[in-house]
Amino acid sequence: MNGAESLVKTLVANGVNICFANPGTSEMHFVAALDAHPEMRCILSLFEGGVTGAADGYWRMARQPAATLLHLAPGFGNGYASVHNARKGFGAMINIVGEHADYHLKYDAPLKGDIEGVTRGVSDWLRVSQDSLSVARDGADAIRAARDGNGQIATLVLPANTAWESAEAPAGPLAPTRLHRPRPDQVAAAAEALCQPGAALFVGGAALFGDAARRAGQIASATGCRLMADLFVPRIERGEGAVAIECMQYPVMENVEILRDIRHMVLLGAGEPVAFFAYPDKPSTPAAPDTRILDLCGPRMDILWSLEALAKATGADASPPDVRPLALPELPTGPADPVKVGQAVGALLPENAIIANESITAGHPLMQGTLTARRHDVLNNPGGAIGAALPLALGAAVACPDRRVIAATGDGSAMYNVQSLWTMAREHLDVTVIVFANRGYQILRGELANVGVPSVGRNAERMFNVEDPVLDWVALAQGHGVDAVRVMDMDAFNAAFADAVARPGPFLIEVVID
């Protein structure tokens, strides 16, 4: 057995059986070892942003880390933005990054780069394997790190000779690690604070879906506090029967209003809300200055245990949570616009769908339109580096083959990792892509005004519009092996969306917004 084989066997023995990949020569022994293990599913992306973004989407739904296979510093660098987004959402992945053989590094060969420099800033755990005998242990440590702290980015750099030289045995299954928990006095103080007038329980991470969200909802019902969360949370359950969680908005001054009456804020699985950007004369944090903030359980701590403890301390067991009703919007007609598209998606969304949302200026109407749709999950982009929706949808569809995945994206954002369409086609994934084709970086017009610049001149206009030439999304999709249609009005959108979510495989709808 060589080092690469010991690593693949270690991954498989620990339940890591998906590898999103874009390999090169320095990874050929790892490729050969993957080839010898058909129980590992290897999924090719044609750009590394798709590799790492898909691993993030996979983790968010499967709650199991996938491996990635990346080619030296430039390959990881191409995937950097999606790793950044994953890390901001406390996502997990195990990046296996090939490197030149250690004795080759001194020659400064073409693909040699500052691999530690490029990986360190977005890796919670980073190691360069020193020899082939250590590779299995390094792999096991990487898996443990990825699972630790509610999800971490683990990056293992694998010099080519450590992959091809002899190894002994793979490392077996790993014991789970224990998460930090708040002290009893902190739980008691939080419980007391939540019973005060003007209290909010501000939740994140695993508290936004499933049983944990129900627990949070019970605590809110029992104490009378508001239940709140950030806007761009990595995963949140919505629609019929989902616990009613009040989400923040994008404009910081709207959030100042939303939080105006909050006097006590208990953080559980989330940090304090912050403005996406700083603006002249606007605050960085929207909570009122006299709000008392209790940091009960950080995002890396034991969120589920903390919710249970808080439920017990507030006597929430018998309190039913406030949940969303089913109230489907009417199907809109007439020319297409983001509000109507949001309503149509809300009306037609299939039960148990997953929406990977990077709709930017169309995002608010989409969230409004789907608030009381059939039950679904939404995956947002917590890191703000655009290009997330297509890879996230890809990874979510691999994790949940029985669920319909919707990728809803701005046309500007969709271009960053457009190659993910090809992987959706190759893997026959049930993804319906909605591209909001407003032919520009619409949000940046508003942001220019937000920083106090009164008008858009020639250069700014040249940086904000994506016209001349106009992107042809039907041709782009078809060129990647995905069927597509362009729609201008709601009758056409409604018909296309209803058809797309019922047919197997990927389909793209370009909805033209003037």
Ligand X SMILES: Cc1ncc(C[n+]2csc(CCOP(=O)(O)OP(=O)(O)O)c2C)c(N)n1
The contact set with ligand X (CB under 6 A) reads 81, 360-362, 384-386, 410-413, 438, 440-444
Strand bridging mode 226-229 / 199-203: parallel
Q: How far is the CB of 384 from ligand X (least distance, A)?
A: 5
Shortest Cβ 466–ligand X spacing (Å): 7
Q: Which two structure tokens, joined as six digits, stand for 78?
A: 């191409």
Least CB distance to ligand X at residue 363 (A): 8
Of the pair 161, 442, the CB lying nearest ligand X is at: 442
**Smallest distance from ligand X to CB 320, Å:** 38
The least distance separating ligand X from the CB of residue 385, rounded to whole angstroms, comes to: 4
CB of 336 to ligand X, least distance (A): 14
Strand partners for 436: 410, 511
Nearest in space to 202 (alpha carbons), one of 126, 132, 287, 139:
287
* For ligand X, the closer CB: 81 or 311: 81
Ramachandran class of 156: left when φ > 0, alpha when ψ lies in -120 to 50, beta otherwise: beta
226-248 burial code (b ≥16 CB/10 A, e <16): bbbbbbbbbbbbbbbebbbbebb
User: Token digits for 496?
Assistant: 């296309």
Nearer to ligand X, 4 or 81 (CB): 81
* Rounded Cα gap, residues 202 and 271, in angstroms: 8
Closer residue to ligand X in complex, CB, 203/471 = 471
Per-residue exposure over 350-377, b if at least 16 CB sit within 10 Å of its own CB, e if not: beebbbbbbbbbbbbbbbebbbbbbbbb
Q: How far apart are CA 394 and CA 233, in angstroms?
A: 18
Q: How far is the CB of 438 from ligand X (least distance, A)?
A: 5
Nearest-approach distance from CB 406 to ligand X, in angstroms: 16
Alpha helices in 228-327 (DSSP H): 252-258, 303-313
Give the nearest distance from C-beta 414 to ligand X in angstroms.
Answer: 7
Q: Please, which residue, 250 or 305, has the CB nearer to ligand X?
A: 250
- The full DSSP string for 154-207 is EEEEEEHHHHHSB--------PPPPPP---HHHHHHHHHHHTSTTEEEEE-GGG
Helix (H, G, I), strand (E, B) or coil at 108: coil
Name the residue with the smallest CB distance to ligand X: 410
The vertex-54 CA angle with 48 and 56, nearest 5°, equals 110
Q: How far is the CB of 208 from ligand X (least distance, A)?
A: 23
Residue 87 or 214: the one with the smaller Cβ distance to ligand X is 87
Q: Residue 353 or residue 513: which is nearer to ligand X going by CB? A: 513
Q: Which one, 240 or 447, has the nearer CB to ligand X?
A: 447
Nearer to ligand X among residue 289 and residue 459 (C-beta): 459
Q: How far is CA 244 from the centre of its chain?
A: 21
H-only helix segments in 318-400: 338-348, 363-370, 389-399
CB atoms within 10 A of CB 196: 13
> Cα–chain-centroid distance for residue 202?
19
Residue 12 or 385: the one with the smaller Cβ distance to ligand X is: 385
- What is the CB neighbour count within 10 angstroms for residue 459? 8
